[in-house]
Amino acid sequence: MKPKRINSFLLVIAFILTLLAGCKSDNQDKSLQKILDNKVLKIGISDNNAPLSSRNEKGEFIGFDVELAQNLCKRLNVNSKFVPVSQDEAVEKLNSGLIDCYWSYSAPSREVMASAQFMDALYNHKQMLLLKSDSPVTELVGIKNTAVGVLRESAADEALTAAAVLKSSLKEVKQYDDFEHVLSALNDGVLSAVVIDNLFAKNFLYKDDTAHKYKLLETPISTQDYRIAFRQKDTTLKNRAAKILDEMVKDKSIAGLSLRWFNEDIFLKD
pLDDT single digits (tens) 141-172: 999 999 999 999 888 999 999 999 999 999 99
Strand order of the β-sheet with 48-49 is 48-49, 53-55, 61-62
State whether 137 and 215 are in the same domain: yes
Looking at residue 46, what is its pLDDT?
95
CA distance 131 to 143: 10
Looking at residue 28, what is its pLDDT?
83
pLDDT digits (tens, 9 = 90+) for 199-238: 999 898 887 777 889 999 999 999 999 999 999 999 999 9
In a domain, 138, yes or no: yes
**CA-closest candidate to residue 72, choices 231, 269, 241:** 241
Looking at residue 60, what is its pLDDT?
95
Average pLDDT taken over every residue of the chain: 90
The helix (run of H) or strand (run of E) holding residue 243 is helix 235-250
State whether 212 and 166 are in the same domain: yes
State whether 82 and 160 are in the same domain: no
State whether 206 and 231 are in the same domain: no
State whether 233 and 113 are in the same domain: yes
Residues with Cβ within 8 Å of 203's Cβ and at least 6 positions away in sequence, in order, are 50, 51, 64, 261, 262
In a domain, 8, yes or no: no
Looking at residue 83, what is its pLDDT?
97
State whether 186 and 200 are in the same domain: yes
State whether 44 and 104 are in the same domain: yes
Task: Tell me what the mean pLDDT of segment 13-32 comes to.
Answer: 60
Residue 108 sits at φ, ψ, to 5 deg, of: -65, 145
pTM of the model: 0.83
Residue range of the domain that includes 64: 31-123+226-262
| Percent above pLDDT 70 for the chain | 89
**Residue 16 CB neighbour total at 10 angstroms:** 10
In a domain, 142, yes or no: yes
DSSP 77: T
State whether 202 and 78 are in the same domain: no
State whether 217 and 93 are in the same domain: no
Q: Which residue has the higher pLDDT, 17 or 205?
A: 205
**Domain of 195: which CATH number?**
3.40.190.10
In a domain, 47, yes or no: yes
Does residue 32 carry a pLDDT above 60?
A: yes
In a domain, 20, yes or no: no
State whether 190 and 249 are in the same domain: no
Looking at residue 24, what is its pLDDT?
46
pLDDT digits (tens, 9 = 90+) for 103-127: 999 988 889 999 999 999 999 989 9
In a domain, 139, yes or no: yes
Does residue 75 carry a pLDDT above 90?
A: yes
State whether 50 and 180 are in the same domain: no
In a domain, 205, yes or no: yes
Rounded to 10 deg, the angle between the 253-262 and 64-76 helix axes is 160
Does residue 19 carry a pLDDT above 60?
A: no
What is the tally of structural domains in the chain? 2
State whether 116 and 231 are in the same domain: yes
Looking at residue 268, what is its pLDDT?
84
In a domain, 7, yes or no: no
**CA-closest candidate to residue 101, choices 238, 236, 233:** 238
